[in-house]
């Protein structure tokens, strides 16, 4: 299915975190193909190099911004590197995240939720968004830009890879609202809450195709491009929307 919305973003500058695959990659692709200059963050791996090379091969202006966002010093370094490469910042997409487990941890299995596990999940899925937003706040205020956070439908209804992950994403809902208050009126801050996603997510939930067909109104799994379109709209349009989390679930919770 072709995109229903086109964007004209020449002169805009964006940083997408966790963008070597899945929703992040689709968002970086849509931004870059719409004319924006894009910094692509992920862990320094061949997947990041491949994403940058692909878009450069299409004539897009993209920059690699490799780094681990689970540490505040590294996150600040990534933000500074991206802002310098792009000459400022208009859009920050906090998409980096990790389940920290290959299989879902049942809510009753409290023993599996070690201190180390909680620390990792909170750092990657919640604190990284704060660190990146704080580091880039001056540039975003100057450009009167926007922040979009990738949250999760599990923040509202559970069913995540773990209690820690659902809790971190619920915290990201709160952070989205507070950043919207704190950075207003210069910067709009919103989020999306994805449902089922066809991506190489580290945690397996079984046959999500069958689950989505029976459990969503649109009877299909969401593609990364579905989520990217919502993210870019919240960046480049939606001029009177801030502090909101938009469910993008195909009607999973109707």
Tell me: domain 13-248, CATH 3.40.80.10, correct?
no
Mean pLDDT, residues 198-227 = 88
Residue 10 confidence (pLDDT) above 80 = yes
Listed residue (215, 119, 200, 105) closest to 158, CA to CA: 105
Catalytic residue set:
165
Residue 110's pLDDT band, with cuts at 50, 70 and 90, is: very high
What are the domain boundaries of the chain?
A: 13-248
Residue 205 confidence (pLDDT) above 90 = no
Residue 225's pLDDT band, with cuts at 50, 70 and 90, is: very high
Mean pLDDT, residues 26-46 = 98
- The contacts of residue 243 (CB under 8 Å, 6+ apart) are 176, 177, 180, 181, 189, 190
- Partnered with residue 150 across adjacent β-strands are 192
Residue 204 confidence (pLDDT) above 80 = no
Read off the pTM. 0.96
Q: What percent of the chain has pLDDT over 90?
A: 86
Listed residue (60, 112, 114, 119) closest to 86, CA to CA: 60
- Partnered with residue 190 across adjacent β-strands are 148
Give the span between the Cα atoms of 176 and 73, in whole angstroms: 22
Give the span between the Cα atoms of 202 and 121, in whole angstroms: 13
């Amino acid at each position: 299915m072709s995109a229903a919305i086109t964007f004209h973003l020449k002169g805009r500058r964006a940083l997408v975190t966790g963008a070597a695959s899945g929703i992040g990659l689709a968002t970086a692709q849509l931004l870059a193909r719409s004319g924006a200059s894009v910094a692509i963050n992920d862990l320094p791996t061949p997947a990041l190099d491949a994403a940058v090379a692909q878009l450069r091969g299409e004539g897009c202006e993209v920059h690699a911004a490799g780094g681990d966002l689970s540490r505040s010093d590294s996150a600040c370094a990534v933000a500074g590197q991206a802002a310098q490469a792009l000459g400022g910042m208009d859009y920050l997409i906090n998409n980096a995240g990790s389940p920290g487990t290959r299989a879902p941890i049942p809510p009753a299995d409290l023993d599996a939720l070690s201190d180390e596990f909680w620390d990792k999940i909170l750092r990657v899925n919640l604190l990284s968004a704060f660190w990146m937003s704080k580091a880039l706040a001056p540039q975003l205020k100057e450009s009167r830009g926007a922040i979009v956070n990738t949250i999760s439908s599990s923040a509202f209804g559970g069913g995540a890879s773990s209690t820690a992950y659902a809790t971190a994403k619920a915290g990201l809902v709160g952070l989205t609202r507070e950043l919207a208050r704190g950075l207003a009126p210069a910067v709009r801050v919103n989020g999306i809450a994805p449902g089922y996603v066809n991506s190489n997510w580290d945690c397996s939930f079984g046959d999500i195709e069958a689950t989505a067909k029976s459990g969503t109104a649109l009877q299909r799994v969401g593609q990364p491009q579905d989520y990217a379109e919502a993210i870019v709209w919240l960046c480049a349009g939606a001029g009177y929307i801030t502090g909101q989390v938009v469910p993008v679930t195909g009607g999973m919770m109707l």
